[in-house]
Structure 1
Amino acid sequence: MKTPREKLESCIVENGWRIENVQYDGLDWWVDEIWELRSIWSPEGVSAYLSLLVDPLHEGARRKGQGVWAVGCSGESPASLEKACSNGTVTLNEISKGNAIEVIDNIESLRSGAINDIGL
């Protein structure tokens, strides 16, 4: 059985995105890691960012991967929790239930916005 993270990774690849970079170090308390995605489908090169968000109610010391409750989506590298969620948020519970496609819908709107920007 796949973990929510594995389901999300598979769904990303199946829908024309590549994980370009994963940032682990030097992050604020609210984020466990940030995935920089790049579109490999048209229009190629569009960026999206997924932030693995830490539960704000988590108490005490936290190990890597512990206390993560949701995935936020944004069109630029997030400098704040609000920016990380600017294009939607999906809980890991929803992803576990097979709803990783909700995250894809959030990043697809960024690719669609790029199509509109370049007039395709």
Structure 2
Amino acid sequence: MLYNKCTQVDKQTWLSTALTNLETCQTGFVELGVYDNLLPLMSNNVSKLISNTLSLNKVTYKPPSFKDGFPFWVKPGDRKLLQTPPPASQANIVVAKDGSGNFKTIKEAVTAASKRLGGM
């Protein structure tokens, strides 16, 4: 069952997210000017309950364990991928306002690219 795999940190994250979502909705209602209409439907008790539950659900900080400079949850194949240097990139075109590149504006570059690809 899924709930057996839930950690205290997961619970803390979900509760924090729920509280943030509630506050975001309340802020949105105020900005839209409909808060007064929804006030009877929205109870501050919900945010108080979530806040209380967050304070009761104490999570002891445990520093992450590392292996070869990576957190334990990063798989060996992913470590190898992360250690691979990025390929050297070379710009196909340069946009420079001073005229030192291929184009002076982004619009010119986009228009030229569109024409090359058979667009506009």
TM range (shorter): under 0.3
Higher relative contact order (CA 8 A, sep 6+): 1
Give the structure with the larger strand fraction: 1
Normalised by the length of structure 2, the TM-score is 0.19
- Structure showing greater radius of gyration is 2
Taking structure 1 as the reference length, the TM-score comes to 0.19
